[in-house]
Amino acid sequence: MERAAATEPRRAAVLGSPIAHSLSPVLHRAAYAALGLTGWSYDRVEVTEADLEGFLQGLDASWAGLSLTMPLKRAVIPLLDGISDTAAAVEAVNTVVIAEDGRRTGDNTDIPGMLAALNERGVRKVDHAAVLGAGATASSALAALGRICTGPVTAYVRSRARAEEMRGWGERLGVEVHTADWAEAAHAFDAPLVVSTTPAGATDILVPYVPERPGTLFDVLYDPWPTPLAAAWAEQGGSVVGGLDLLVHQAVFQVELMTGRSPAPLAAMRAAGEEALAGR
């Protein structure tokens, strides 16, 4: 069932801080154009944790949904009327759907977005995997790996606290998680699937250790792209899934949730994202 007529004014936006770099408006606007939703608009809004509650209270009936990035993915949870099981599993909401009666429901499209991006490259099952880094994206990666990895996941982290946190997520998600110090991160490349969730530049020191026959690298960054690690991986013939793949697939799920239109136009959204990145 469609949530609104194509010409009815509806609003959506991505919130976060900083937010100026976000490609989400490009992707969502491309979807609206392809779907003929001429009355729909999508913006980016700088919102901090301190501003979030006030922003939500100020929303009127024209709002259909919100995309959330850091630092809001966990801060928003107590401000919502409910969250999906997927979002609850990792305590992270990246999507808020606003019903016509004003009810706000949180969801997480990062997890299905990761799975869709991997599936698109033919990665549907692995017997073990590695995660570089910890944090909100890493916990979403563990949740996704829990659905396709039949064996252990080794997380390479920088501190004992981070190691304990990742093992805790593993227990909660039903994933066998082993942890290792960041100094041993080159050993991650022995796995058939490596998910890098680190900030830009963090994995540059690992480039010389890319093996001759690497498996699949999922690097969640998209700007700048390719990262030195992704470039070296591809040069050695390995399969690379990038941050734009994740961004587009999670946005596809967001568009479907917010508009009630399915399927969302994946090809048009990807093309718009690629064009925008090329212009940066």
pLDDT digits (tens, 9 = 90+) for 123-134: 999 999 999 999
Catalytic residue among 10, 28, 73, 162: 73
Q: What is the total count of domains within the chain?
A: 2
Q: Are residues 96 and 146 in the same domain?
A: no
Phi-psi region of 270 (alpha: psi -120 to 50; beta: other; left: phi over 0): alpha
Is the same domain home to 120 and 217? yes
| Whether residue 95 is found in the same domain as residue 116 | no
Q: Does the structure show a pLDDT above 80 at 4?
A: no
Q: What is the pLDDT of residues 153-202, one digit of tens each?
A: 999 999 999 999 999 999 999 999 999 999 999 999 999 999 999 999 99
The reply to whether 253 and 232 lie within a common domain is no
Task: Give yes or no for a contact between 92 and 74, defined as CB atoms under 8 angstroms apart.
Answer: yes
Same domain? For 128 and 227 the reply is yes
β-bridge pairing 95-98 and 104-107: antiparallel
Q: Is the pLDDT of residue 7 over 90?
A: no
For residue 244, the Cα-to-chain-centroid distance in whole angstroms is 9
Whether 1 is in a domain gets the answer no
Neighbours of 54 (CB within 10 A): 9
Residue 72 lies inside a defined structural domain of this protein: yes
pLDDT of residue 1: 42
CATH of the domain at 29: 3.40.50.10860
Residues 115 and 237 in one domain: yes
Query: 125 and 208, same structural domain?
Result: yes
Is 262 found in the same domain as 197? no
Mean predicted lDDT score pLDDT of the chain? 96
Q: Quote the pLDDT of residue 88.
A: 95
Assess whether 217 and 236 both reside in one domain: yes
Q: Tell me, what's the pLDDT at 2? A: 53
Average pLDDT over residues 220-247: 96
Predicted confidence at residue 163, as pLDDT, reads: 97
What CATH number does residue 158 fall under?
A: 3.40.50.720
* pLDDT, tens digit, 9 for 90 and up, residues 47-94: 999 999 999 999 999 999 999 998 999 999 999 999 999 999 999 999
125 is catalytic: no
Q: What is the pLDDT of residue 3?
A: 53
* 119 shares its domain with 153: yes
Domain around 176: 111-241
pLDDT of residue 247: 97
Which tens digit of pLDDT belongs to each residue from 207-217?
999 999 999 99
